[in-house]
Amino acid sequence: MGFADQRFNVNLSILFTELPLLERPAAAAAAGFTAVELWWPWADSPTPERSRLDALKKAIEDAEVRLTGLNFYAGQLPGPDRGALSVPGEESEKFRANVDVAADFAQSLGCKALNALYGNRVDGVDPAAQDALALENLVLAARAAERIGAVLLVEALNKPESPLYPLVSAPSAMEVVDAVDAATGLGNARFLMDLYHLSMNGEDLPSVIKGYASRTGHVQIADNPGRGAPGTGSLPLEDLLDRLAEAGYDGWVGLEYKPGDAPSADAFGWLPAHARAAR
Which CATH number belongs to the domain containing residue 136 in this structure? 3.20.20.150
* Averaged pLDDT for residues 264-269: 97
Beta bridge partners of 164: none
* Averaged pLDDT for residues 82-100: 98
Choice among 37, 91, 203, 256 that is catalytic: 256
Interacting residues of 84 by C-beta distance below 8 A, sequence separation 6+: 73, 74, 75, 91, 92, 94, 95, 117, 119
Catalytic annotation present for 246: no
> CA-to-CA distance for 257 and 229, rounded, in angstroms?
6
The neighbour count for residue 278, using CB atoms within 10 Å, is 13
SS3 216: strand
Q: State residue 60's pLDDT score.
A: 98
Choice among 155, 161, 175, 246 that is catalytic: 155
pTM: 0.97
Query: Range of 100's domain?
Result: 3-275
Structural contact between residues 118 and 83, judged by C-beta atoms closer than 8 angstroms? yes
Provide the number of structural domains found in the chain.
Answer: 1
pLDDT higher than 90, residue 69: yes
> CA-to-CA distance for 184 and 140, rounded, in angstroms?
9
Encode pLDDT of 101-116 as tens digits: 999 999 999 999 999 9
- Binned at pLDDT 50, 70 and 90, residue 275 comes out as confident
Work out the mean pLDDT of the chain and round it to a whole number: 97
Catalytic annotation present for 161: no
pLDDT higher than 70, residue 91: yes
- Binned at pLDDT 50, 70 and 90, residue 97 comes out as very high
The neighbour count for residue 125, using CB atoms within 10 Å, is 14
